[in-house]
Amino acid sequence: MTPPLRIALYQGPPGVPSSTGETLGALAGAARRAAGAGARLLLTNELYLTGYALGSDVVDRAEAADGPGAAAVAALAEEHGLAIGYGYPERDGTAVYNSFQLIAPDGARLAHYRKTHLFGDFEGAYFTPGDEAVVQADFEGVRLGVLICYDVEFPEPVRAHALAGTELLLVPTALMRPYEIVPQTIVPARAWESQLYIAYANRCGTEGEFTFAGLSALAAPDGTVRARAGAGEDLIIADVDPALLTASRAENTYLSDRRPELYGALG
């Protein structure tokens, strides 16, 4: 049986950073603490490199998937010997995407995902929605999947991941108040109904008109929350246990009891 995968979720730093140097410095500290706690994977939040409430500045701060931010994160992953997942605004030609990259401990890219469900006026004005629903990677015997923030609030993307074999769903997030119902209720429900782990890493603090809710969490398929952050800057550590997932799927047979022939008209 695959041993548990220890992961860290970094909720911070608060506020819009003055530069990517500021967030990379905070990431170096979080990576050092995560590695010291035995974590093999560190997840940060949505648009981690630049901050979220950027307005039109997001266009100027966007960079290519293989840009300087990616190189800096890869160096940190190699230095601390752990995988790092981070959000950033991606420029591809004239389009800007709300994107996420997962970098392996050797600095190679494991996964890249573009947010498919854009939220609110800011995202709708400056980002192009992605068109790939299920992005996965295998890491230390665990099949990882990726969604970003608003994506996880729809049951369909999460169920699509479960049916594709995702065991741990990484969800970098920028959830504002007063929507605390999402980390407190919806995310654990998604983990339960689709029988997978969900790592939900949120922003914290205030950026412009937005006050972020924090409450980052690792939700397990048995309906429990294995770790939970507060409202401020935090680093939480928890284990993803494949044995628990196997036992939970044997006990809760939602996935095998589905009758997809009845659901086709719902699309």
193 tagged catalytic: no
Q: Which of 63, 90, 123, 149 is catalytic?
A: 149
- The shares of helix, strand and coil residues in the chain, as percent rounded to the nearest 5, are 35, 30, 35
- Given a contact cutoff of 8 angstroms between Cβ atoms, the answer to whether 227 and 189 are in contact is no
The answer on pLDDT for 265 being more than 90 is: no
Judged on CB neighbours under 10 Å (0-12, 13-18, 19+), 31 is buried
**Contact (CB, 8 A) for 37 and 195:** no
Residue among 115, 123, 204, 233 flagged as catalytic? 115
pLDDT digits (tens, 9 = 90+) for 41-75: 999 999 999 999 999 999 999 999 999 999 999 99
pLDDT tens digits, 175-197: 999 999 999 999 999 999 999 99
> Quick check: is 115 catalytic?
yes
123 is catalytic: no
Q: What is the mean pLDDT of the chain?
A: 97
Task: Find the catalytic residue in 46, 123, 153, 167.
Answer: 46
Q: Phi and psi (nearest 5°) for 96? A: -120, 130
Concatenated DSSP letters for 34-101? HHHTT-SEEE--TTTTT-S--TTHHHHH-B-TTSHHHHHHHHHHHHHTSEEEEEEEEEETTEEEEEEE
CB contact at 8 A, 38 and 6: yes
Q: pLDDT, tens digit, for every residue of 100-138? A: 999 999 999 999 999 999 999 999 999 999 999 999 999
Q: Which domains does the chain have, with CATH numbers?
A: 5-255 (3.60.110.10)
How deeply is 252 buried, as exposed, middle or buried, from its count of CB atoms within 10 A (0-12, 13-18, 19+)? middle
Predicted model pTM = 0.97
Over range 139-147, report the average pLDDT.
98
DSSP 159-185: HHHHHTT-SEEEEE--PBTT-THIIII
Q: Is the pLDDT score of 267 beyond 80?
A: no
